[in-house]
């Protein structure tokens, strides 16, 4: 959630709508996806957000009106939802391609953003593992 701090409420709700749509795209909402949605909703100041599928077209329009950098941020952050359950479903890929087109993003830039988001997600996972790791029974002396 590093890149969406400048969003107003309407943009935040539009983002959450698109994130919810992406999460539901493969027909399975995992605990990881649900937790990520809740985390974003809280951070964006929209606690208790509920998804309304009928609002998806308006959400895409709202996001398409952003400046180029903000569109890229939205795409990168939404890609995180596609990979947070450990894999990217083909239906999620189709949805991402449609979103990329709706935002009029260059395919090469979108792919670079996906790689960056994947790397960042991996680093966060490593940090989480280190924070929750059991202490080593081996004492190391300096």
Ramachandran bin of 104, using left for φ above 0, alpha for ψ from -120 to 50, beta for the remaining angles: left
C-alpha angle 6-33-131 in degrees, rounded to nearest 5: 85
The span from the CA of 13 to the CA of 6, in Å, is 13
- What are the structural domains, with CATH classification, of the chain? 9-132 (1.10.3680.10)
Mean pLDDT over residues 100-123, rounded? 93
pLDDT at 71 over 90: yes
Q: Are 60 and 18 in contact (CB under 8 A)?
A: yes
pLDDT, residue 57, reads: 93
User: What b/e string do you get for 54-78 counting C-beta neighbours within 10 Å, with b at 16 or more?
Assistant: ebeeebbebbeebeeebbbbbbbbb
Answer whether residue 63 shows pLDDT above 90: yes
Compare 15 and 141 and report the one with higher pLDDT: 15
Percentage of residues of the chain with pLDDT beyond 90: 59
């Amino acid at each position: 959630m590093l890149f969406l701090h400048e969003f107003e409420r309407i943009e935040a709700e539009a983002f959450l709508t698109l994130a919810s749509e992406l999460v539901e795209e493969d027909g399975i909402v995992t605990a990881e996806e649900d937790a990520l949605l809740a985390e974003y909703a809280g951070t964006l100041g929209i606690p208790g957000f509920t998804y309304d599928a009928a609002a998806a077209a308006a959400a895409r329009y709202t996001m398409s009106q952003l400046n180029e950098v903000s569109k890229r941020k939205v795409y990168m952050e939404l890609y995180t939802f596609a990979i947070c359950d450990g894999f990217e479903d083909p239906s999620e890929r189709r949805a991402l391609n449609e979103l990329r087109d709706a935002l009029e993003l260059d395919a090469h830039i979108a792919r670079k953003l996906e790689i960056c988001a994947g790397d960042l997600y991996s680093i966060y996972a490593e940090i989480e593992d280190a924070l929750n790791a059991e202490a080593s029974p081996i004492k190391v002396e300096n």
